[in-house]
Amino acid sequence: MSSKAVAIMVSGRGSNLAVILEAVAVGTCPVDVQLVISNKADAPALNIARQAGVPHVVYLNPKDYEERASFDAACADLIDKHACQWIVLAGYMRILSSFFVRRFVGRIINIHPAILPAFPGAHAVEDALTYGVKVSGCTVHLVDEVLDGGPVLAQAVVPVHDDDTRDSLHARIQKEEHRIYPATLKRMVECGFTIVGRKVVWNTKT
């Protein structure tokens, strides 16, 4: 199994997937995207993956499985079949089962549109605006069994303007997502890290 082999799980339009694949194409993100899995048949991300030449692009219908764990098991079997070291969530809108998280502990990466631990969950941008914060941003983190609760790999901060809407703030956050997600994946495969308590300690590049 190559330390650079990646599976990316998607549900939507695939903006972060596109940025990662573009970075791979130009040589600034040295991961090897072997597999893209979607739980949505009409996800634009699937076409992005196909057009980029990802070797294995798969749609799995959750309705074909009796429960979440069995669907996740099918996803996990595909990931192992294609020898993927890392699982990258890029707009994947299903909560992963405990079974899946334990099977790939320390190997699942997500990006969240807030400065965790503030504003976890599906409405992070709206929640930040409602709370009245003056800065927000995004967090790349490892996935554990607590929603948006895993150790932090990277964060970026953006200002919150008085006239911001959900869309305007989200657009500003996404610019930073598109910058730090490929950069974090690059660092992950080139340097690696260890976990001390909750803290990610990046290894020195040799």
Residues 6+ positions from 196 with CB-CB distance below 8 Å = none
Max Cα-Cα span within the chain: 49
Is residue 112 flagged as an active site residue? yes
Name the DSSP class of 161.
-
Sequence-ordered strand ranges (E) for 124-164: 135-142, 152-159
β-sheet bridge partners, residue 8: 36, 88
C-alpha distances out from residue 112 to 69, 89, 129, Å = 23, 10, 15
DSSP state of 151: P
Does a cis peptide bond (omega within 30 degrees of 0) precede residue 159? no
Q: Quick one: which of 47, 97, 91, 50 has its CA closest to 74? A: 97
From CA 91, how far away is CA 45, in angstroms rounded?
A: 9
Catalytic, out of 56, 82, 112, 141: 112
By C-alpha distance, which of 33, 152, 43, 51 is closest to 87?
Answer: 33
Cite the active site residues. Answer: 112
